[in-house]
Each structure stands twice: as structure tokens, then as C-alpha cells.
A and B are shown apart, each in its own frame.
Chain A
Amino acid sequence: MTLDKNLLLVIVLAPLVGAVIAGLFGKRVGRVGAHGVTIVGVALSCALSMHVLYQLVWGGAETFNENLYTWFQVGSTSANIGFLIDRLTAMMMVVVTFVSLMVHVYTIGYMADDDGYQRFFSYIALFTFSMLMLVMSNNFLQLFFGWEAVGLVSYLLIGFWFKRPTAIFANMKAFIVNRVGDFGFLLGIAGVLMWFGGSLDYGTVFAHAQDPAIDMGARSVELIAGHPWQVATVVCICLFIGAMGKSAQVPLHVWLPDSMEGPTPISALIHAATMVTAGIFMVARMSPLFELSETALTFVLVIGATTALFTGLIGVVQNDIKRVVAYSTLSQLGYMTVALGVSAYSAGVFHLMTHAFFKALLFLGAGSVIIAMHHEQDMRHMGGLRKYMPVTWITMWIGSLALAGAPGFAGFYSKDAIIEAVGESHRVGAGYAYFCVLAGVFITALYSFRLLYMTFHGKERFVVEHAGHAHGHEHHADHDEHGHHAPGHLEHAPKESPWVVTLPLVLLAIPSVVIGFLTIGSMLFGDYFGQAIFVREANNVLGELGHEFHGALAMALHGFSQPPFWIALAGFATATWIWLFQPSVADKAENALRPLHTLLANKYWFDSLYQAVFARGGVALGRGLWRGGDAGLIDRAIDGSASFIDQLSAIVRRVQSGYLYHYAFAMILGLILLLGGSWWLFTRIAA
């Protein structure tokens, strides 16, 4: 059987309809109308996506690949809008719509006091539409459309509180840094069109890449004369630069921590669970291309490994609860990229899925804490919250255990699979990557439990100012105004968030525990992805691991004896010792390791460097070109020649003095000279 096209259209369009209604008619439909229409839309999408997944996995449905309409057709170049629905896509659709639905519900509580309530729902529904267009595409054009559309919504949402200078700086920065990635991505797409069969359609391109008669792996091109490069390497590196922007890989990672300026629900949805993983999805989707180039995969591997370790380290010194989770996201994206780099695409996508659940959970949990703390985000003013908000506390623990890779939890399966795949790989750079991902396990445990201890355990480091204080309540309605409280001073004692907030936490905690156990067998070592992901036999590290896989339970038990577990345990113990029992150690360590701390606190000076070179340098260059080039050279030359004729004419006749007249006269004189002179030249040349 085949999937119904109309059903797929409903999946995509339902959130869009919700977004349009909530966005354009937000005043008329009111708050309930806005969240009602978007939640119904996304819920419908989610239910139908699950249906599609069911049909593909158990219902015997075939892969759906069909164009909806032709976007343009010029000569033999055609660009279409269409869907490719295989199991990879279906899994992404379920993850996207499910997390989105959770975030929609959560938002009812989180944004309850915000004036931009309807606008917010409109944006997140629009995001869901864009992300679905991205993952459901069957061609590069639509992929790029979705890619840029999610970037636009991310821009709008990071700058959602558009009065905050930091927010509108962060959203501009995010968009421009992403554009650096898109620059490469677009060139990669152009390369695909040129070299892979003159088509933008996935099917045609992949068939071309895999055709032994064409042997794309052997084709090369000289971008610099005398230096032949494999065509596939050029294309794949260009495409991957796009992924580096969207999935925030070093050195294009700088936008993601700043994106935390946006409201927390979108940090969970866009900047953790879905949009930032688009790059991972894209590379997995393009596996037939990446498999052609060892060089490109090594590039991917090294970038991913660097991101995994070094951004995680920054997370250890952050005090803003959201920023810790943000750096954790960067680091985990690095893990996924490493998986791609060793041709373990399924493992990358698998980690993408498990991470979507537990990282969305952690962000939403952090948001719940932030509500309870009256928009205080600094963990140094938290502590001991577990007794005030038990649901948040427990679910955050579950999320952190999953993130740190406790055996049996979702993150254990996906991360262990990546680490073992790297260990198995013989690709150039695999040794470095293996070190990074193992060391990263320690770091992950360190910052995860640090976050838990600083937030939920230990002494309360905040003061509750009892009601009756002169502080006005009128500021409640506006998130921007909370800065007027002294740090760590709360009006009311923290309390557990309402059910619309905690319900999504619980619903996300369930897959954070079980999803890895349930799906690893088929997704990594079974035939779940089928034709959707292509791995050459020589690169098939997961296939090798599959021989040692004897079920999820056995893997969990075996995990207790493996290095990653002991490394994570060491991280846990360290964190427990420092942040639960001996908080003074943290300060001592900070002083003892002053240079390292400075390095991390300044985030390796990436931001300062970019700000100085690209931002200020760009403005200086622009000023130079404008004053020096336009005004200095070009206009001076033109005004000069005008004034030359002007002076000439002044000598010829000294009768008139009107400014305009001068010009006109100069012009006519110049005209005569020009006409005569050129005519003379023309006739001579032509003769």
C-alpha cells in the first residue's frame, strides 16, 4: 500500500493554518483561540505522523516519493515541491511534532503572563510547519526552503522580547552566523546540481552517486589549477558547512548559547530538540554522497569531536541554568556529528532522537525552575529547590541520567553506540575523536550533576521577601522587568509549576527512560532505516558492532563493565563531592586553575575575535570603501571632470553666474565634445 498524499498534506498544513490564524487574527480569536487552534493543528499533525510511522513500520506501507507541484522548470533544470516519506523521515516527523506538541502545551503555562501570547503560538506553529517541510522534502530546493524557514522562525523567536537589547543582538547574530553556513550549503547544492545528474531531486542524485558505471567517487575537479579534488569531497564539505551553521558546530557554534535569550519553550523545541539537529538529519539523508568521500567524513569527524569535548567544557563553568543546558546541547550535537563522521549515520540519528526527548525535558525543566524562581536564571541563587518542586526535580534527574548515559536510560544506548562505533572506526581522525568522546563523557556527567546539585540540592541560596514589601505587583505581567529585584531575592517562596508545565515534563520523561531500550535493536542493528541510509560495506562500523549485540538488556548490563560507564561515574562522583558536599572546593579549584577557568569563561575568545574581526572589521571596511572608494575616488573623478569643464567654460565666457546654468552649459559643451570625439573615433575604427 502507499501513503495518502492528502494525509501528508494535512500533516504539513495543519500547523501552518494554526500559525496563520493565531498570527493574523490573534486579537480576534483571543488567547484561548490562539493556543486552541495551534494545539489542535499540531496535535493533528502529531497523531497523523504517528499513523504514518506505524504504516511504514508495521503496516507494510511503501516509501512515498512524489512531487506536489513544479516550482520552476527552466530547460532541463526543474525544481519541485514534494515529499519523500521513508522511515527516517517518519521518525523525524514524530519527534518534531511530539516535542512541538509538548512545548505548545507547556507554553500555556510558561507564557501565561506575556503580552505576546498569540504571537508566540503563531511562531511555534509556523516553526513546526517549516521543520516538517524540511524533513519531508524529496529534493534540495525544498530542503533549503525548510532550512531557511526554520532559521527565520528561530530569528523571530530569539528576538521574541524585542525590547531587550541582548535579545535583538542575539537573533541577528544567530541569523548571520547561520547564513555563513548557508553560504556553504547553497554552494553544495549548486555542486550537486552540476555534478550529480543535473537534478535537485534526491532520488536522481543518489542514484547517480551510487551508479557504478558513473563512478562518482573517482571524479575530480580542479578548483585551484593543479590541485585536483574529489568532486564528492567538494560537494560534501560545502553541504556540511551548512550543517555546521544549523547544528552549531565549532567554529560556527557561537550563536547557540546566545539564542538562550529567547523564551525557554523555544530553547527546548528549536535550540535543542529539532532545528539544531537539522544538520545531523541532512547529513544522514545525504549518506550516499558522504560515503563517496573519506576526506569529507574525516572533516566531519574532527569538527564533531572538537565540538563534543570543547563546548562541553565551557558548560562546566556556566552559572546560568539555561546556558549550562545550551552548552550541553552543543556538546551532544558534537557527538551526533562524530557518529556521522565514522559512517555510523544511524547512531547519529538515533542519538538525535533520544536527545530530543531528554534535552527538551531538561530545557522545559529548567524553564519550570525559572518560573518558580521568578525569572532568576543564575544557579548561584538557587539550591534546595527539590522540596518545593518535586515533579520538576524528579524529571530533571531522569533527564540528566539519560544525558549522562546511565545504563538503561535512553542516552546510554545512543551515546554508547557512538563511542563504540568511533572505537571501531579506522578513519583518519578516529583516534582523536575517540579521546574526545570519552573525555566528553566525564565532562557531561560533571556539568549535568553540577546543575542538579546547584539547583535542587544543598542550601537555599535565595531569600524570600514576604508579601507586604513595597515591591509592586504591576511588573508581573512583563518578563522584561524582573531585573529590578536584587539577585536571589524572591517575592514568594518557589512553588511547583502548574500542570500544563509539569505534564509535558512527565510525558517527556517516559521516552527519556525507555525509548533507547525499545528501539536500539531495530534502529541501529536491525533493518529499520532500510534504504534511507546508505553505508558502504568497508565503512560499516555499526554492522561490526551488530555482531556483538545481544539485545538491549544485555547491552545495558554489559555497559556496567565498560569504560564510558566508569568515566561517567567518575564525573558523577566528582560533581557530588564538589557541589553537594564541599562547595568550597569549587572556588579553590577555580583559583588553582585560573588560566583554564579564564579560557573557559571567555569561551575560548571566539566571540571577542568574531566581534573584532568580522563585526567591527566589516564596518571599518565598509566605511573605508564608502569614504575612500565612492566619495574619494569615484565621485571626485566625476565632480573633477565636471569642474574641469566648468572652469573651461568659465574661461570661455564670463557672462553668467547661475549655478545651475553653469552645470547645464558644461554639460552641453561636454556633450558636443563627446559626440564629436566619439564619432571621429568610431568612423576611424570602423573604416
Chain B
Amino acid sequence: MAQWPLLSVLIWLPIAGAILVLALGRDPRVARWLSVLVALATLAASIPLYLGYDAPAGGMQFIESHAWIDALKVHYALAADGISVALIVLTTFTSVLVIIGSWGPIDKRVSQYMAAMLALEGMLIGVFAATDALLFYVFFEAMLIPMFIIIGIWGGPRRVYATLKFFIYTFLGSIFMLIGLIYLHMKTGEFSLQAFAQAPLGPSEQAWLFFAFLIAFAIKVPMWPVHTWLPDAHVEAPTGGSVILAAIMLKVGGYGFIRFSLPITPDASQEYAWVVIAMSLVAVVYIGYVALVQDDMKKLIAYSSIAHMAFVTLGLFIALALVRVHGNPDAARLGVQGAMVQMISHGFVSGAMFSCIGVLYDRLHSRMIRDYGGVVNVMPWFGAFFVLFAMANCGLPGTSGFVGEFMVILAAFQDNFWIAAVAAFTLIIGAAYTLWLVKRVIFGEVTNPKVAKFEDLDAREWIVLGSFAAAVLAVGVYPKPLTDLMDSSVLQIVNALMLSKA
């Protein structure tokens, strides 16, 4: 197993599969089956990655490195630590469900849609596995293309506006990152992330790099106030696009903070941590209230995503203060670990919520809350799933949604009571917007005669929602395997934070 370039397999298998699906998938049934097989094969390939990763030892494993562009010392360099492994498995798991979930709703250009999804999966894995900054950047940008296509072709009526907003926003952000990377290349003569992390950088250099990275990743996460592309993109995206976007693409932003901002510019990160923390706290409260008043289910969940992702940035940057100001690496580990668990959990929960909305949309072709009501009368199983995922969205203990938020709040408290108090406000506002949604959509009498004709979940929908439910409950009841997987890697990140570069 060690001889296999496992990470390369994980990246290129779905991309090769995408080409195959394009070539052979003239018949939609062939395209569907073939793409599921490819996604399942990729999922299967990620199992030895999970099992083979030596978590107690930690650090980068499954290392691959080949010279790519000699003149610039660019390498095709891949490796994975516990954090990467967790995110890669999340990607392979979610991709299977997205592809199964798209079987019914997507009926035009099936092979192209499936191919785009598979290519996107490969690129996302590439982002999480790249240890060469330029390679990372290539995947980081390239993944925009399939997403652009997915929204632009299979999206809703305002898809052109949404795709352009999405593309320009995120592309704009990554330009700043590119400049930063080029600068770091000039400085070190390499593109290896490790070299970047070890490069001595003065305070003002770090500050400029920090903000360059911040813009790139803050847009990706997205953080308040650069979040407005997300609700529009979600509203127009087809269900599968929304699921991938919320469950995985947003994680690229959080991952970027871990791989770039924290190790490369630790001192600037510390100095400007308050900016990120303030933006995160604003997101929890402000976005929570905005989510409350949405009429469109997808927008509501999109805003809820922003508020939940704020816990990721909060956890990561609170760790700096804990390590450096309070000398409390234990709490810092809790913060970073909480951020990571929140990323994985949000992948499951938001994926599940968007899948649920997709189930409703397929039946009524409306995302408006007011068109529904009393769904549980005709779809009891769906109602049960929806309430479960809603509770996970509220962070109920026993579901994955609780674990990360709990850790981050515990860590934040050790830095500052008031930061923890504002973050904990999510308990109230999160419950308010989620349960109000449940009340209006799921409970009550059926008022819309079309809703009265709804059929409960079919087998395909059962597989998707059931798998998400199993994941949500597994992480909620027993998060230790997940935290153990990432613990050594988190420790290394926290240790690195202690070292000043200036």
C-alpha cells in the first residue's frame, strides 16, 4: 500500500472518471451508473488513506514529490496529515451522495453534469493534498471551473448573475493570494509550503501577506462582510452544486487559513487576530438575524452556513491568543480541533440540509417557505430526517453540530468571557431561525394542495439522507475517532504558532 501513490490515485481517479463519463455517457443511465461507480471507487480508495494514516505519529504522510516546472522549482508535491485525511474522506463521502442525489433531478446533459462533479471532486482532493503552493493554487482556481459550469448550466433563472458574482468574488480573492505566493517565491526560490513556513519574514511583510491570504480565504469561507456571493450562488445552484459548495468548497477557505495564514504569517496573524475574531463574532450575530428573516429556504441555510463557518475562523484565531498571550497551548488545541470538527460537521449538516431542500424542490419546484407547511403529514420519514438535521444545525448534543461549537466556545472562554458569550449567542439565534423554518415547512396543516400530493422519500433519497444522518449521529455520539485522527496534526500547528518569525 505504501508504494501506491494513493493521493494521486484519489485526485486523478475521479478526473479520469469524468473523462470516461463524458466519452461513454451518451445514455443518461450509463452516465449515472458509471459516475456512481467512479465515486464509489474513489471513496473506497480513501479508506486505505484513513486506515493507513498513522495518527499518533502525525505529520505529513503519503508523501509524493516530482519536479514539475524545474525553472521555477515547482513540484508536483502531495502529502496528507490528519486534517487533510479528514477533509479528503469528507469529500469522497459527500461526492458519492451528491452523485446519487443528482440521479433524479438532473435530466439534461447528464453526462456533462456528472463529469463536472467528478472533476470537481478530484480538484478538491488536490487542494487538500497539495504541499506545493503553486499546485495548491492551480487546484484552488481550477475547481472554480466545474462549479461555474454546474451553476451556469443547471442553475436557476438568475444563474448568470450568480455565477459571475461567485466567480468574480472568489477569483478576486485568489489574485491576492497569487501575488503573495509569487512574493514568497521570490523570497525563498521555491514553492514548497514548508519552505514558506520556515522563511523568516519581517513584520510588515507578514502583515501584507496576511491580508493577501485573508482576502482570499475570507471570501472562500465566506466571512462577513465578503459573504454576499454565497446566498446568491446557493439559490441558483442545482441541489448537488449547493451540497458540494456548502459541504466542501467552503472548507477550502478554513483549510487555507490552517496551511497558509497560521504557519506562514504567525506574528501578523496574532497581531490581526482581533480582526478575524471580530468578523467571526459579527457573523454569528448579524448573519443569525439575517437568516431569521429569509423567505427562501436555500438562502436561509446559506446564511446559516456563514454563521456556522464563523466558528471555524473563531477557533483558529482564538488559538493564537491562547498560545501567545495566555501561554495555554491546551486550550489552543481545543480551539483548532474545534474548528476542524466544525468543518467536518458542517460538511455533513449543511450537505444534509441542502439535500433536504432538494427533496422538497424536486416535488414542488419552489424554494419559498410560504409554499410549504405541514409536510410531515404527507412525508413522515422526511419530516423525521429534517428535524434531525435541524437539531444538528442548532448544535444539539448527540449530533455532530454540537461538538465543534462546544470546543470552540470552551476555548474562547479561556481567552475572554465576552467573546465566548457572543459566540454562544448562536445557541439562541441558531435555534430561532432553524426551528422557525421547521415550524413553517414541516409542521402545521397542509395548506398547499400540491403539498398534499407529496410522496415520502424514495429509495435513492433514503440512501442520501440516511447516510448523512448516520454521519451526523456517529460524530455526535462518538467524536473521538475524528479528533484522534487530527490530534497530532493539530498539535503540530499549535506548536508552530508558538514560534515567532520576526
Residues of A in contact with B (beta carbons under 8 Å apart): 69-77, 141, 144-145, 148-149, 152, 155-156, 159, 162-163, 165, 168-169, 172, 175-176, 179-180, 182-183, 186-187, 189-191, 193-194, 198, 221, 223, 234, 618-619, 621-623, 625-626, 629-630, 633-635, 638, 642, 659-660, 663, 667, 670-671, 674-675, 678-679, 681-682, 685-686
Docked pose: A633 CA to B290 CA in angstroms: 14
Which residues of A are found within 8 Å of B414, using beta-carbon distances? 190, 193-194
| B431, A223: Cβ atoms closer than 8 Å | no
B contact residues vs A (CB 8 Å cutoff): 160, 164-165, 168-169, 171-172, 175-176, 179, 183, 204-205, 208, 212, 225-226, 228, 286, 289-294, 329-331, 333-334, 337, 374, 376-377, 387, 391, 394, 396-398, 402-403, 406-407, 409-410, 412-414, 417-418, 420-421, 424-425, 427-429, 431-432, 435-436, 438-439, 442-445, 478-480, 483-484, 487, 490-491
* B228 close to A634 (CB less than 8 A): yes
The CA-CA distance from A182 to B409 in the complex, in Å, is 13
Contact, CB under 8 Å: A194 / B413: yes
Shortest C-beta distance, A646 to chain B (Å), equals: 12
Q: In the complex the two chains form, is A625's CB within 8 Å of B290's CB?
A: yes
CA A221 – CA B420 in complex, angstroms?
15
The residue that B480 contacts in the complex, of A71, A186, A633, with Cβ under 8 A, is A71
Chain B residues positioned under 8 Å from A179 (CB to CB): 394, 427-428, 431-432
CA gap between A623 and B204 in the complex, in Å: 40
CB-CB under 8 A from A183, the residues of chain B are: 421, 424-425, 427-428
Of the candidates A165, A193, A674, A682, which one forms a contact with B208 in the assembled complex, judged by CB atoms under 8 Å apart? A682
Closest A residue to B338 by beta carbon equals A74
- Whether the pair A77, B428 counts as a contact (CB closer than 8 A) is no
Assembly CA distance A394 to B410 (angstroms): 52
Picked from A172, A630, A663, the residue with its CB within 8 Å of the CB of B228 is A630
Could you say which residues of chain A place their CB within 8 Å of the CB of B443?
159, 162-163, 168
B residues near A626, Cβ cutoff 8 Å = 289-290, 293-294
B164 engages A74 (CB within 8 Å): no
Given the complex of chains A and B, what is the CA–CA distance between A117 and B333 in angstroms?
47
Looking at the complex, which one of B183, B394, B397 makes contact with A149 (CB distance below 8 Å)?
Answer: B397
Is the CB–CB distance between B417 and A671 below 8 Å?
no
Verify A75–B439 contact, CB threshold 8 A: no
Residues of B within 8 A of A682 (CB): 179, 183, 208
Taking a contact as CB atoms under 8 Å apart, the answer to whether A176 and B432 are in contact is yes
Q: Please give, as numbers and ranges, the residues of chain B lying within 8 Å of A675 by CB-CB distance.
A: 175, 179
A685 touches B289 (CB 8 A): no
Residues in chain A near residue B329, CB distance under 8 A: 75
Q: Which residues of B contact A189 (CB under 8 A)?
A: 410
Residue pairs across A and B with Cβ atoms less than 8 A apart, 16 shown, are: A145-B398, A179-B431, A190-B409, A618-B289, A618-B429, A622-B289, A622-B292, A622-B293, A638-B169, A660-B164, A670-B172, A678-B175, A682-B183, A682-B208, A685-B208, A686-B183
B49 to chain A, nearest CB (A): 22
With A71-B480, A149-B398, A176-B435: A186-B418 Cβ-Cβ less than 8 Å: no
Considering only CB atoms, which chain B residue lies closest to A149 in the complex?
Answer: B398
**CB contact between B444 and one of A165, A630, A638, A671 (< 8 Å): that residue:** A165
Q: Given known contacts A77-B410, A186-B427, is B330 in contact with A618 (CB within 8 Å)?
A: no
Q: Tell me if B420 and A71 are in contact (CB < 8 A).
A: no
Task: Report the bound CA distance from A193 to B334 in whole Å.
Answer: 12
Determine the chain A residues whose CB is within 8 A of the CB of B407 once the complex forms.
72, 74
The prevalent SS among residues of B at the interface is: helix
Task: Report the bound CA distance from A635 to B294 in whole Å.
Answer: 17
- Closest-by-CB residue of B relative to A147 is B397
Say yes or no: A75-B334 contact (C-beta < 8 A), given A172-B439, A187-B424. yes
Q: A residues within 8 A CB of B396?
A: 148-149, 152
Beyond known contacts A148-B397, A626-B289, A659-B160: 17 more, CB 8 A cutoff: A69-B478, A73-B484, A76-B330, A168-B443, A176-B431, A179-B394, A183-B424, A183-B427, A186-B427, A190-B413, A221-B417, A223-B417, A618-B292, A629-B286, A638-B228, A642-B168, A671-B175
Contact indicator B293/A193 (Cβ below 8 Å): no
Contacts of A234 in B (CB 8 A): 417
* Shortest beta-carbon distance from A278 to chain B in Å: 14
Which chain A residues lie closer than 8 Å to B171 at the CB level? 667, 671
Number of A-B contacts (CB under 8 A): 183
Residues of A within 8 A of B286 (CB): 625, 629
CA distance A221 to B407 in the complex (A): 22
Whether the Cβ atoms of A74 and B409 lie closer than 8 Å is: no
Tell me whether A163 and B205 are in contact (CB under 8 A). Answer: no
Residue of A nearest to B418 (CB): A223
Give bound CA distance, A165 to B445, whole Å: 8
Majority-rule SS of A interface residues:
helix
Interface centre among A74, A176, A182, A187 (most CB of B within 10 A): A74
Residue of B412, B417, B439, B479 near A72 (CB, 8 A) is B479
Tell me which residues across on chain B come within 8 A of A76, comparing CB atoms: 330
Q: Are A168 and B444 in contact (CB under 8 A)?
A: yes
- Per the bound structure, the CA–CA distance linking A190 and B331 in Å amounts to 11
Hey, which chain A residues are within 8 Å of B176, CB to CB?
Answer: 674, 678
CB proximity of B326 to chain A, nearest CB, Å:
10
In the bound assembly, the distance between CA atoms of A308 and B171 in angstroms comes to 61
Question: A465 vs B79: C-alpha distance in the bound complex, in angstroms?
Answer: 81
On whether the beta carbons of A163 and B179 are closer than 8 Å, the reply is no
Task: Select one of B208, B439, B478, B487 contacting A74, CB under 8 A.
Answer: B487
Question: How many whole Å from A151's CB to the nearest CB in chain B?
Answer: 8
For B172, list chain A residues within 8 Å (CB): 670-671, 674
Residues of B within 8 A of A642 (CB): 168
Least Cβ–Cβ distance between A85 and chain B, in angstroms: 21
The complex places the Cα of A676 from the Cα of B337 at a distance, in Å, of 39
User: For residue A73, which residues in chain B have a CB less than 8 angstroms away from its CB?
Assistant: 480, 483-484, 487
A168 CA / B329 CA spacing, docked (Å): 45
Contact partners of A630 in chain B: CB under 8 A: 228, 290
Q: Which of A182, A186, A635, A674 contacts B175 (CB 8 A)?
A: A674
Q: Which residues of A contact B420 (CB under 8 A)?
A: 187, 190
Which residue from chain B places its CB closest to the CB of A188 in the assembled complex? B413
The CA-CA distance from A659 to B176 in the complex, in Å, is: 26
Report chain A residues within 8 Å CB of B175. 671, 674-675, 678
Nearest chain B CB to A147 CB, angstrom units: 8
CB pair A163–B444 under 8 Å, yes or no, is yes
Would you give the shortest CB distance from B157 to chain A, in whole angstroms?
Answer: 15
Q: Which residues of B contact A667 (CB under 8 A)?
A: 168, 171
Closest CB of chain B to A625's CB: distance in Å? Answer: 5
A109 to chain B, nearest CB (A): 25
Could you tell me the distance in whole angstroms from the C-beta of B109 to the nearest C-beta in chain A?
20
Residues of A within 8 A of B491 (CB): 75
Known: A149-B398, A622-B289. A186 touches B424 (CB 8 A): yes
B208 to A187, Cβ gap below 8 A?
A: no
Chain B residue contacts of A634, Cβ below 8 A: 225-226, 228
Judging by beta carbons under 8 Å apart, are B205 and A686 in contact?
Answer: yes
Q: Which residue of B lies closest to A663 (CB)?
A: B164
Residues from chain B with a CB closer than 8 A to the CB of A186 are 406, 409, 424, 427
| Residues of B with C-beta under 8 A to A172 | 435-436, 438-439
Q: How far is the CB of A627 from chain B (nearest CB, A)?
A: 9
B445 and A168 within 8 A (CB): no
Q: How far is the CB of B216 from chain A (nearest CB, A)?
A: 12
A180 touches B428 (CB 8 A): yes
- Minimum CB–CB distance from B289 to chain A (whole Å) comes to 4
Docked CA distance A451–B350 (Å): 50
Q: Is the CB of B292 within 8 A of A74?
A: no
Residue contact A660 to B160, C-beta cutoff 8 Å = yes
Q: Which has the most chain B C-beta neighbours within 10 Å: A148, A234, A642? A: A148
Contact among B204, B292, B410, B438 for A190, CB-based, below 8 A: B410
A-B CB proximity, top 7 nearest = A190-B413, A622-B293, A622-B289, A75-B330, A145-B397, A622-B292, A168-B443
Instruction: Tell whether, in the assembled complex, residue B483 and residue A629 are in contact, meaning their CB atoms are under 8 Å apart.
Output: no
A679 to B183 CA separation, bound complex (whole angstroms)? 9
For residue A176, which residues in chain B have a CB less than 8 angstroms away from its CB?
428, 431-432, 435
Q: How far is the CA of A619 from the CA of B337 in the complex (A)?
A: 34
